[in-house]
Amino acid sequence: MTSYFAHETAVIDDGCSIGEGTKIWHFSHIMENCIIGENCNVGQNCVVSPSVVLGKNVKVQNNVSIYSGVTCEDDVFLGPSMVFTNVTNPRSGVNRRGQYTETIVKRGASIGANATIVCGHNIGEFAFIGAGTVITKEVPNYALIVGNPGRQIGWMSEYGHRLDFNDEGNAVCPESQDRYTLMNNSVRKTDLK
């Protein structure tokens, strides 16, 4: 008996490892040799290409394509219809299988609906990518990125609130009361309350 749920229309290829409590919904295809952690949710009409790795508690919304070469760490959120690429210069007449560029989405990051992540550009911990954004460069931890091409307009807390730093470079999340410090264009959490 499996320890995860897969809708009867979902297709799961051989060689996959799927964690306890994970749910895979209508018309989604989990291709060979994928690793999906515990308590993940893969929405309807998603494609998870061969050898993709998803950590624990990853939320994949409807119509998402996750191509080979992508790794999502724990607690990542992938918004509806967002997409990853895996080849920087695709051509129909040129076979570049096996030349996939890797992309890592680090712990706690959120990627909004209809965003595109151009391969080879990692997304930092707890970064927040706005809806429709096109990522064409590395994204720092806690960064808030919007637009096409994506540009940083601020910083986000681990609870998903925009951080307002004072003149000393300190900010407090309004929900969690966690404290953050901005120094040398880098944010870190300074204490837990």
pLDDT digits (tens, 9 = 90+) for 26-40: 999 999 999 999 999
Tokens of 73: 């760490």
The CA distance from 116 to 120, in Å, is 12
Q: In the predicted model, is pLDDT for residue 11 greater than 70?
A: yes
Per-residue confidence band for 54, with pLDDT thresholds at 50, 70 and 90: very high
Can you list the positions of beta strands (E) in 31-131? Answer: 35-36, 41-42, 47-48, 53-54, 59-60, 65-66, 70-72, 77-78, 83-84, 103-105, 110-111, 116-117, 128-129
Contact 163, 142 (CB under 8 A): yes
Count Cβ atoms below 10 Å from residue 184 Cβ, excluding itself. Answer: 5
Count Cβ atoms below 10 Å from residue 97 Cβ, excluding itself. Answer: 8
The listed CATH number (3.40.50, 2.60.40, 3.20.20, 2.20.70) that belongs to domain 161-193 = 2.20.70
φ, ψ dihedrals at 187, nearest 5°: -110, 140
Contact 145, 153 (CB under 8 A): yes
The CA distance from 10 to 45, in Å, is 9
The CA distance from 27 to 8, in Å, is 8
Q: What are the residue ranges spanned by the domains of the chain?
A: 1-88+98-156, 161-193
pLDDT, average across residues 60-84: 97
Count Cβ atoms below 10 Å from residue 148 Cβ, excluding itself. Answer: 12
Per-residue confidence band for 88, with pLDDT thresholds at 50, 70 and 90: confident
Q: Decide yes or no: CATH 2.160.10.10 for domain 1-88+98-156.
A: yes
- The amino acid occupying position 44 is Q
pLDDT, average across residues 121-137: 98
